[in-house]
Structure 1
Amino acid sequence: MIVRYLLEDDYETWNHFVEQSPQGFIWDYSWWLEIVTDGDYKICALFDDDNLIVAGISLPFFSTGTIRQPLLTQSLGMLYEDMSKHNNMRLQKQLTNQKEYSNQIIDFVLNDFKRFSICFNYNYDYWLPLYWKGFKQTTRYTYVIDYSNYVLEEEFKRFSKGHKWVLNKVEKKSDLKVIKVDDVEEYLRESDKTYQRQGVNKPYSNDIVRRLYKEIMNRQMGTLLKIIDGKNQTHAIAFYLHNDREAYYWLGASDEKLRDSGGHTYLTWYAIRYFADKVRFFNFGGSMIEHVERNFRNFSAIPRQFFTIQYGFDTAWEECKKAIKKLLRKA
C-alpha cells in the first residue's frame, strides 16, 4: 500500500471515492474544500496494490499548521472504503483494516501540523486508533431518520403532542404553503434579517454561500424550500443538501414575528416527506443547543453520535479560556 498527498489530477478519483465511502458526503468533495478553505487544504489518501483509494482524510487550512473545521461544513475526518461490499468480511476484519488504514495515514501526516480539530462523520464510530495516537474526542449528536423502516403515517403518531398539534393546525386551518426556491438570494435576504434581529454578526459570508450554491445546483445536490402565507410573507426558508444516499438540513432562516404560525415546524415535516422516496437517510444536522435538540427529537428521529476529534490542544486550558470569556461577557 502507498500513502501520499493527492495532486489536482487525483481529485476526480478522490471524489468518486467520496461517493461510495460510508463516511463521505458533499463537503468531502475537492470542489467544496476549494471554496470553504479558499484553496488552502490537502487530501491524504491510502492506495491499495491495485492503485485504488481505500482510505483518506482532508486537511483544511493545511498551511497554517492548525487543521480546523471550515465554516458551513458539518463533518470531514477519516473516510474508508465500503467494506460491506467485500463478501462476508467479518466485523473483526473490518476494524482491523480501519486500524491499519488509520495508522498509515496518521503516521504520514502527523508531522505536518501542530494542532487538529475536526468533526467526523457519524458513520465513523471506531476512533480507538486515533486515541492510541494521542488524539482526544468530544461526543456530539445529530438526529437521523432511516427511511428504510420509516412509515410516515406511523411515525407521525410518535411525534410529540406539541408537534402533532402544530402540524395539524397548519395542515387544516392556515393559508401556509411550501414552494421551491430557485434563487439563493432569497435565502440570503432572509438569513440576513434573522441575524440582524438577533443582533449578532453572520458567521459566514454571503459570497461563500453563493459560490457553493452554484456548484451544488450544477450537480443537482441542493433543494431550497420556503413556506409562505396568503400575503406572500416568508415564514421560514431552508436549504437542504443531498446525494443519492442522504439529505441534510444545511441552512435555515425564519421570521421570529411569524414564529407562532408553526411554519418552521411544518416546513421540516414537509421536507421529511419530500425526501422520503429520494434518499435513504434524512439528517437534521445536529445541535448541542437544548431547545434545538428538543425540536429534532420531537420528530421521532434517531440520535446518532459523532465525534469532534482533536490533537495538540490543551483541553483544560481551552475550557479555562472559554470560562474566562464567558465571565468577561457577563461583566
Structure 2
Amino acid sequence: MSKKIVFDKDCYRSLCRDMGDDLPIFYRDWWLDAVCGQGEWEVMLYLEDPQVVAIYTIYSKRKGPFTYVSMPPLTKFMGPYMIKPFSQRKQQKILSKMVDALPRYIGFDQTMHYQVKNWLPFYWAGYHQNTRYSFVLPDIGDLDGIWKGISTDYRNNKIKKASEQLAMKYDLETDLLISIFAAPFERQQTTMPIQASTMKRLFAACAQHDCGQSFYIEDQQGEVHAALYLLWDKDTAYLLLSGESQQWRSSGGGVLLTWCAIKHASTVLRCHKFDFLGGMSENLERTRRQFGAVPRSYHYIKKWRGPFWWISHVRR
C-alpha cells in the first residue's frame, strides 16, 4: 500500500464536497475561506492508495520577515483530523508523519480537535502542550433530562420568569447583532478582538451553507435583550457568540435564549451534542455548570523557535 503526504487545496476542496456534513464545520473549505481568507490557509493530506485518510489544516500569518501558525478568528479547532477510523496506534503513526512534514515556522499555536487524544508526536518533535476545556451537553436528545440538570435558580428565577415577558426570534439584523456581541467588551473597556467584516463574511457563508443562524430575545416593546449565533454540523450544535444588551442584563433573557437554542438544536436540527465553546474563566465555568454542561478537554499545542523560544513556556 502506497502512502504519501501532499499539500493540495484543490484536492481538499473536492474532498469537502464529497464529505459534506460528515466533516466538522471548522475544517470545511468554505469556513476556512471565510475566517482566514482564501490565500492564507493551507492543508496537508495524508493519502493511502489513493484515498485521503487524514488531513491537517494550517493558518499561517506573517509579521515582518517571520511566518507563524495561529488560530483564525471564531475557529475552535484546526490541525489534524482523521477521516478514517483507525486504532490509536495507527493514528499515532499517521500523526507522527504529518508533524514531521509540517513546514518550519518561527512560531506555532493551535488548538486540536477533541479527536486528538495522544499528543506524543508533537512532544517528540519539541512542541509544548496545555490542556484546555470546553463545556458540552453530551446528549441533548433527552430534553427532559437536560431541563432537570439545569440549576434551580436558572429554571425558576431566569428561564420561567423571562419566558413570561420575552419571546425568542430568528435572524437579527447583522449590525445590531454585532453590536450586542461587542457589548461585553465595551463593559470591560476593551476592543472586541474580532473584526465586524470577518463576522459578516462568516455569517453570510454559514447562511449559504445552512450551518448557522442568529437567535435573539426581545420584549413586547421590541427591545432586544440578548442575542447569540448558533453553528451546527451533523453531530453538534455550537454556541459561537453571545451577548446581552447592557440595560437588560438582569432580565434573564440571555439564559432563556440559551435554553431556546438548546431546544432548537435538539428538536429542529436533531444534533446529538451542544458545545458551549467557552473559555476557561471561573465565571464562564460557573455559568456553563448552571446548564448542566460537563467539561471536555482538548490540546493546545505550541512551539516557538530562535529568539522567541520563551513564548512556548509562558503562553497560555
TM-score by length of 1: 0.85
Q: Which residue of 2 aligns with 1:227?
A: 217
- Count of residues in Structure 1 that have an aligned counterpart in Structure 2: 305
Aligned counterparts of 2:309 and 2:166: Cα–Cα separation in 1: 47
Does residue 1:159 correspond to 2:150, yes or no?
A: yes
In structure 2, relative to structure 1, the CA distance for the partners of 1:304 and 1:58 (3 Å cut) is same
Secondary structure in structure 1 of the residue aligned to 2:284: helix
Q: Which residue of 1 aligns with 2:41?
A: 41
Map 1:167-186 onto structure 2 (within 5 A).
167-171=159-163, 174-181=164-171, 183-186=173-176
In structure 2, relative to structure 1, the CA distance for the partners of 1:17 and 1:128 (3 Å cut) is farther
| Identity of matched residues, % | 23
Moved more, 209-218 or 130-139: 130-139
Deviation, structure 1 residue 10:
3.7
Contact 1:41 1:62 in 2 (8 A): no
Does residue 1:25 correspond to 2:18, yes or no?
A: no
In structure 2, relative to structure 1, the CA distance for the partners of 1:58 and 1:207 (3 Å cut) is same
Moved more, 240-249 or 198-207: 198-207
Does residue 1:127 correspond to 2:129, yes or no?
A: no
Contact 2:136 2:274 in 1 (8 A): yes
Deviation, structure 1 residue 54:
0.7
In structure 2, relative to structure 1, the CA distance for the partners of 1:155 and 1:41 (3 Å cut) is closer
Moved more, 111-120 or 202-211: 111-120
Q: Which amino acid aligns with 2:34?
A: I
In structure 2, relative to structure 1, the CA distance for the partners of 1:226 and 1:305 (3 Å cut) is same
Q: Which residue of 2 aligns with 1:98?
A: 91
Map 1:50-89 onto structure 2 (within 5 A).
51-61=50-60, 64-83=66-85
Contact 1:42 1:62 in 2 (8 A): no
Q: Which residue of 2 aligns with 1:189?
A: 179
Q: Which residue of 2 aligns with 1:307?
A: 299
Unaligned residue ranges in structure 2 (runs of 5+): none
Q: Work out which of the residue numbers 244, 248, 260 in structure 1 matches 2:234.
A: 244
Q: Which residue of 2 aligns with 1:5?
A: 7
Contact 2:304 2:312 in 1 (8 A): no
Secondary structure in structure 2 of the residue aligned to 1:45: strand
Map 1:216-295 onto structure 2 (within 5 A).
216-277=206-267, 278-295=270-287
Secondary structure in structure 2 of the residue aligned to 1:61: strand
Deviation, structure 1 residue 186:
3.0
Aligned counterparts of 2:263 and 2:218: Cα–Cα separation in 1: 18
Contact 1:14 1:53 in 2 (8 A): no
Deviation, structure 1 residue 178:
0.4
Contact 1:60 1:70 in 2 (8 A): yes
Deviation, structure 1 residue 161:
2.4
Contact 1:17 1:53 in 2 (8 A): no
Q: Which residue of 2 aligns with 1:88?
A: none
Q: Which residue of 2 aligns with 1:118?
A: 110
Unaligned residue ranges in structure 1 (runs of 5+): 84-92, 323-331
Q: Deviations over 1:232-255 (max 9, x none)?
A: 111100001112211100011211
Q: Which amino acid aligns with 1:287?
A: G
Aligned counterparts of 1:257 and 1:104: Cα–Cα separation in 2: 54
Does residue 1:139 correspond to 2:138, yes or no?
A: no
Secondary structure in structure 2 of the residue aligned to 1:43: strand
In structure 2, relative to structure 1, the CA distance for the partners of 1:114 and 1:192 (3 Å cut) is closer
Q: Which amino acid aligns with 1:216?
A: C
TM-score by length of 2: 0.88
Deviation, structure 1 residue 223:
1.6
Moved more, 73-82 or 305-314: 305-314
Q: Deviations over 1:300-322 (max 9, x none)?
A: 12210011111236675566689
Q: Deviations over 1:73-125 (max 9, x none)?
A: 11112100241xxxxxxxxx61111111111211112x432321101112322
Aligned counterparts of 1:192 and 1:259: Cα–Cα separation in 2: 14
Deviation, structure 1 residue 11:
1.6
Aligned counterparts of 2:244 and 2:226: Cα–Cα separation in 1: 4
Higher helix share: 1
**Alignment root-mean-square deviation, CA:** 2.3
